[in-house]
Structure formats: C-alpha cells, structure tokens
Chains A and B, each alone.
Chain A
C-alpha cells in the first residue's frame, strides 16, 4: 500500500510541473505584446513608459526561465500576482468569489448522489423495464442538455410559476449572503444553479451506477448469496451495491473536479459572482495574470482530487494496491 501511495504521489509532481509549463507558455504565445494589447485596447496608442512599467510589473523584462521560476514559486506561496484588470491581488479576487462557487459545487454533488445512486440501482434491477428506459433516457438527456440552457429555462419556469402563484414574478437574489447569516436567502441563490449543474452530474453518475450494478449482479458471489437463501434486500445492499459503488465513487470525485467547467457557464446565466464568472471576465478582459492563476488552480484542484480518489479507491479495493 505504501509503495502504491508513494508511486501515485510521485506521479503528481511531473503532471503539475508539465501543467505549469503549459499554462506559462500558453500565456506567452499571445500574439504581440500583452501590455500593449491591454493598455492600448480600444485602438488607442499606449504610452511607451506605461508599457515599460507594465513589463516590469509582470516581470516580462526578464528571461523566460526567470519568469517561469517566479511564476512557479509564486504559485507555491499562493502569490499569484496582481490582476491586470482590477489592480487587486489575484488571491484576493479569487478568495472573495470562492465561497459561493464551492457551495454550489457541494450542493450539486449532494443532489447528484441523492438522485443518481437510487435511480441507477433501480434501473439496473429492473433492466429493460419501462422504468429502466425512462431513467436511461433521462440520463442521456442530462448529458446532452447544455447547462446554460437548462439554467435559462429554469429561470423562465420560476418566473412563470411565481407569477401564477403570487401574481408577481420572483427571481432568485444574486448578491451572496453566507448560509449562517441568512440560510433561506443563501439557499435561494445557490439552489437553482446547483440543480442545473447537478442534473448533468447526476446523469453521468446514474449511468455509471447502472452499468456497475449490472456488472456486479452477474458475478458468481451474487448467485451464491441468492443460492444460500439470503433475502434480496441484503443481497442488493450488502453484496451488490457495496461493490458497485467503487467506480461510482471514483466518477463522483473526478466529476467534482470538473464542476468548475459547469460553473463557468452556469454562473454567467444566474449572474452569480463566483469563480466561474471571474474566469470568463478574465478572458474577456484579457487579464492574463488572473487567467493563468485560475487555469493553474483548476488543474491543481483536479490533480489533487484525482489523487485523493485514487488513494481512496486503493484503500477500498485491495486488488489495486496489490495489483
């Protein structure tokens, strides 16, 4: 087990270095001088002294190797530099928006688990029944429906329903309030975006639960459990589901790391000032320091969530650590 952990942790290092090099080089591939583009946006000519100052601030007047070391070392110290757009430290910009994004991501995960595992299990147990077909179609629809469109349609539905019930349209608030200050207001901000992102997430997990359950239900030990007269509930809960959930746990972990992609678009629809929206604003405003910090943060989150999932999987399944 220790050898497996060491090997897996060791693999993280080249991935992170490679990702840092890729992000660093990608941002340096921008055609022209990023300071001239930024300062001269709108077709105006930028002052050469302002451009020189911008170069010095970003460290662009130094060698590529020195810039990379600075970038990587800054990242290790959580010092991502200053936003080219707002002039505030990037860490500050991200920290202000992280709570709402994290809350939506966690709510989406809970919703996905609550929907996916029971429905995926029932679908596998009632294979080829009408219920199975409905669940499968709903799952494929979840993967196919763009989350931003689902967001627009859900806003439309809330407006229409509230208008019908209360005689005036109601929209969820957009200004973030922490849960402990006003739980109702906080949940009314986060619930719809979480449902929108969670539907796709649950669809992916539902398909995996169904397919893993079908695989496990055909195993010899399930036949043995049934042959020795165990009641079906125990066979399903104790023998089948426990083993089928292993790949589902992995998928839920990986999808959690990918939630940022869903949030990028969904936060835009619901006008939520989270990390996803910040990402879009950074790209739109050509804020390269902010963009590279956000890309790198996403990658680091993904790599570490992946590592945690792999280690958890190895702990749960001895075939992996001894394989």
Chain B
C-alpha cells in the first residue's frame, strides 16, 4: 500500500525492456493477432494522415469522371458523383476511428467504473445497477441505437451517443464478474483496514486488476462500434453527407450501380470488413495472451 521510492525506480528501469520483449513475444506467439494489429495500424495511419495520403478531396465532385473504373488516376475508381473512392475511404477511416474509439472508450470506462463499483459495494447498489443493466441489455445494440436516433436525430455526435449507451452495461456486466472475485481477496480487506476511502480502493486496487478482460472487451467494442456506425449510416440514419463514412458510401450508389460500377460497392465494404477483422484478430490474440487457461490452446 505504501509506495517506496526504490520500488518505483526499479519498476522504471525494468519496464521498458520487459515491454519490448513482451511485444516481441506476443508477435511470435500470436501471428494472426499481429496481422490484425498491423491491419488496424494501417487504417489508423490512413485516418490520421488522410490529408497527406488522399490524392483528392473526399468531397470534390468531378462530373467528367463519374463511375470511372480503377485506374492510375483513381486507384479505386470514382463514385456516381465523380468523387475519388480511395480518398473517401482514407477520410472514412478517420470517421470510423473517431466513432469507434469514442464509443469504446466512453462506454468502456463508464462500464468499468459502474461494474467495479457494483461489485465493490454489493447489496442494494449492486442489485439496482444489475437490474438497470438487465433492462438496457434487453435492447439489441442496433435497436437501442435506432431508438436513440429516433429521439435525437442523426449526425456524428448522436451516432456516438446512440452506440455508446448500449455498450455501457455490456462492459459493466463483464467487469463486475471479474471484480466480484477480486473483492474477496485479502489485499482489499487490508486496504480497508488501512482506512483507505472507497474511491482509492476502487481506482487503485480493484480497477488495475480487472484491466485484462477490460482491454479485450475494448478492442471488441471498437469493432462493434465501427460496424454499428456503418450500419446506421447505410440506413441513412447515421453520419450524414458530406462527411465521408464507409457505411454512407455504400448507401448511395452501391446497389444502383452494382452491375455497371461494382467498385463503388466493393471497396468501402472491404475497408469496413478489414478494419473490424483486424480488431477481432487482435482482440482474440490479446485474450489468448492474457488468459493463462487459453495460452496453450
């Protein structure tokens, strides 16, 4: 409970090489997970550096180059308004990551605090929180998101809100089950005996010990949020034009031009699938690496 100066110094000196060897070990043991991480990093870099990577503006129409097939000028072709698909996919990565990470982080952290607090306090607080969780979890993600959008309308912020709300109880439920086991271990009793406050016990002693399932869930949440955003945008109820978003790109001309310009339908879908695939592979590998029971499977 007491932070000794030499312990902190020792941790600082051994942490860097241990992290590096841990990362190398992860890559060696989990090639599929590493591949997933590489996919995610490629998309993240595309989203971050969209201004430098994209050869055209994602919203610039070129009516002289409508539904052009892939060529050197437009490597993924153009859509029905003459917009460069590659540029829209690169900028769409930014929208997907903003929505994905915002939903996962906000929903995940709210769920983490609620789940740990629910397990720590137990009794009536736990019962009430669990019943509220039961109610929200009875709504499938897309259905609750649609209901929230029916109330607040579409747009990036409302989409983030609509996807975040259903993620909170899902995270809280998983975190609570891990935290319930931790609540019974002697160091929590020792922390109470030392007179530490509830906030300190929850944040410093319980939360760090449920981080493994939390991190695994966070990667799954980013993928789920990206898929949900794409679905809502495809339905015309998510991100609105002119914001470049993968789901929205499939809403416009994907079906109408399916036979004459199939690239309009193919590339945005591949971008969504590869990104979520990357997060799923990485999440699975993280679970295998962090769960000793699964490590040798």
**B275 and chain A: residue at smallest CB distance:** A144
Answer whether residue B241 sits at the interface, using C-beta atoms and an 8 A cutoff: no
Residues A21-70 near B (CB distance < 8 A): 22-23, 26-27, 29-31
A264-B277 contact given A14-B131, A153-B269, CB 8 Å threshold = no
Among the 9-residue stretches A112-120, A242-250, A281-289, A308-316, the one with 4 or more Cβ atoms under 8 Å from chain B is A281-289
Contacts of B32 in A (CB 8 A): 133, 136-137
**A282 and chain B: residue at smallest CB distance:** B150
The CA-CA distance from A280 to B265 in the complex, in Å, is: 21
A264 pairs with B143, CB closer than 8 A: yes
A residues sitting closer than 8 Å to B (CB atoms) are 11, 14-15, 18-19, 22-23, 26-27, 29-31, 127, 133, 136-137, 140-141, 143-146, 148-150, 152-153, 155-156, 159-160, 169, 214, 257-258, 260-261, 264-265, 268-269, 279-280, 282-284, 286, 288, 291, 295, 298-299, 302-303, 306
A269-B255 contact given A144-B223, A144-B276, A149-B269, CB 8 Å threshold = yes
Answer whether residue B135 sits at the interface, using C-beta atoms and an 8 A cutoff: yes
Contacts of B274 in A (CB 8 A): 144
- Shortest CB–CB separation between residue B292 and chain A, in angstroms? 14
- Shortest CB–CB separation between residue A309 and chain B, in angstroms? 13
**B277 and chain A: residue at smallest CB distance:** A144
Answer whether residue B141 sits at the interface, using C-beta atoms and an 8 A cutoff: yes
Residues B148-196 near A (CB distance < 8 A): 148-152
B-side interface size class: 35 or more
Residues B121-159 near A (CB distance < 8 A): 131-132, 134-136, 138-144, 146-152
Partner of A286, one of B150, B227, B235: B150
Query: What are 9 of the A-B contact pairs (CB < 8 Å)?
Result: A11-B134, A14-B131, A18-B131, A18-B134, A19-B135, A26-B151, A146-B272, A152-B269, A156-B258
Answer whether residue B239 sits at the interface, using C-beta atoms and an 8 A cutoff: no
Answer whether residue B55 sits at the interface, using C-beta atoms and an 8 A cutoff: no
**A279 and chain B: residue at smallest CB distance:** B146
- Shortest CB–CB separation between residue A32 and chain B, in angstroms? 11
A295-B259 contact given A214-B297, A264-B235, CB 8 Å threshold = no
- Shortest CB–CB separation between residue B202 and chain A, in angstroms? 26
Contacts of A27 in B (CB 8 A): 147, 150-151
- Shortest CB–CB separation between residue B133 and chain A, in angstroms? 10
1/0 contact string of B209-231 vs chain A (CB within 8 Å): 00000000000000100010011
A26 pairs with B134, CB closer than 8 A: no
B142 pairs with A265, CB closer than 8 A: yes
The CA-CA distance from A290 to B266 in the complex, in Å, is: 34
Contacts of A143 in B (CB 8 A): 276, 280
B277 pairs with A141, CB closer than 8 A: yes
Partner of A152, one of B136, B255, B273: B255
- Shortest CB–CB separation between residue A274 and chain B, in angstroms? 14
Closest 6 CB pairs of A and B: A149-B269, A18-B135, A144-B276, A144-B277, A261-B142, A261-B140
- Shortest CB–CB separation between residue A306 and chain B, in angstroms? 8
B135 pairs with A22, CB closer than 8 A: yes
Answer whether residue B281 sits at the interface, using C-beta atoms and an 8 A cutoff: yes
Answer whether residue B90 sits at the interface, using C-beta atoms and an 8 A cutoff: no
Residues B220-270 near A (CB distance < 8 A): 223, 227, 230-231, 234-237, 247, 250, 254-255, 258-259, 262, 265-266, 268-269
A149 pairs with B273, CB closer than 8 A: yes
Contacts of B147 in A (CB 8 A): 23, 26-27, 291, 295
Partner of B231, one of A148, A282, A298, A306: A148
- Shortest CB–CB separation between residue A271 and chain B, in angstroms? 9
Contacts of A145 in B (CB 8 A): 269, 272-273, 276-277
B150 pairs with A288, CB closer than 8 A: yes
A169-B138 contact given A137-B32, A265-B235, CB 8 Å threshold = no
The CA-CA distance from A283 to B151 in the complex, in Å, is: 9
A283 pairs with B135, CB closer than 8 A: no
The CA-CA distance from A264 to B236 in the complex, in Å, is: 12
For the A-B complex with A30-B150, A137-B32, A283-B150 known, give 16 more contacts whose Cβ atoms are closer than 8 Å: A14-B135, A18-B134, A22-B139, A141-B273, A143-B276, A144-B273, A146-B272, A146-B276, A148-B230, A150-B269, A156-B262, A268-B234, A268-B235, A284-B236, A288-B150, A295-B143
**A297 and chain B: residue at smallest CB distance:** B143
Answer whether residue B68 sits at the interface, using C-beta atoms and an 8 A cutoff: no
Answer whether residue B84 sits at the interface, using C-beta atoms and an 8 A cutoff: no
Contacts of B255 in A (CB 8 A): 152, 155, 269
